[in-house]
A and B are shown apart, each in its own frame.
Chain A
Amino acid sequence: EAGVTQSPTHLIKTIGQQATLRCSPISGHTSVYWYQQALGLGLQFLLWYDEGEERNRGNFPPRFSGRQFPNYSSELNVNALELEDSALYLCASSPRMEGQGPQFFGPGTRLTVL
């Protein structure tokens, strides 16, 4: 069974640009989660999508947005990039209505803002 995949592996942008990160969940999983792992800030929840809808959002500004497609894959968009956005962005998936079971993670996208 294929795991969660993310692309690209690395992304280098400059201040003010937009970044788009992509995630494909495990087959059969309908929920996709995004987390930011920034140096010194730990792992922080960004967004949760399920069945194409945004279900929950972490404490991040509106320039962090995303969407989920009919095939359950997801995109994270970060507009007006700032230096502090440099981080590892992890995507995770889980089956819908699994209660409080685990989330399974992808390998991450390393975003560097120069």
Chain B
Amino acid sequence: AQTVTQSQPEMSVQEAETVTLSCTYDTSESDYYLFWYKQPPSRQMILVIRQEAYKQQNATENRFSVNFQKAAKSFSLKISDSQLGDAAMYFCAYRGGATNKLIFGTGTLLAVQP
């Protein structure tokens, strides 16, 4: 069975600094997607970034980028120039196979200090 592990329950970063959130996963599938979702206090789950496993190039969305290491089954999220609005719970998620479901990590609560 596939699993997703986020080993950092909480992280803190100063405004304008850079922070990296870690995620590892386990799977025997070769074709899958990985995602980072953000859940602010409003509870709305917002897609931050996606990565297709077959693509070697790391995905980037403005201030957000990933470091995808397929052999190591690692998928970290880097947030550059952190802003107060980035404060939220961040979930790493895996989607693969025929089940179509998302498998989530336990989340990392990110605090941004002014």
Contact = CB atoms under 8 A, between A and B. Distances in A.
Interface of A: 31, 33, 35, 42-43, 45, 48, 55-56, 58, 88, 90, 92, 99-108, 110
Given A90-B45, A105-B45, A108-B43, A100 B95 contact: yes
B100 interface: yes
A101 B100 contact: no
A88 B43 contact: yes
Interface of B: 31-33, 35, 37, 42-47, 50, 52, 91, 95-96, 99-107
7 contacts: A42-B105, A48-B100, A48-B101, A100-B33, A100-B100, A102-B33, A107-B43
Contact of B91 (A43, A92, A101): A43
Given A31-B100, A55-B100, A107-B44, A100 B32 contact: yes
B31 A100 contact: yes
Nearest to B6: A42
Given A42-B106, A42-B107, A104 B47 contact: yes
Main SS of the interface on chain B? Answer: strand
A60 to B, nearest CB: 12
B102 A103 contact: yes
A42 B104 contact: yes
Contact of A102 (B32, B42, B50, B96): B50
Contacts of B103: 45
Contact of B101 (A42, A58, A104): A58
Nearest to B105: A42
A48 B100 CA distance: 8
A103 B91 CA distance: 13
A45 B33 contact: no
A88 B42 CA distance: 12
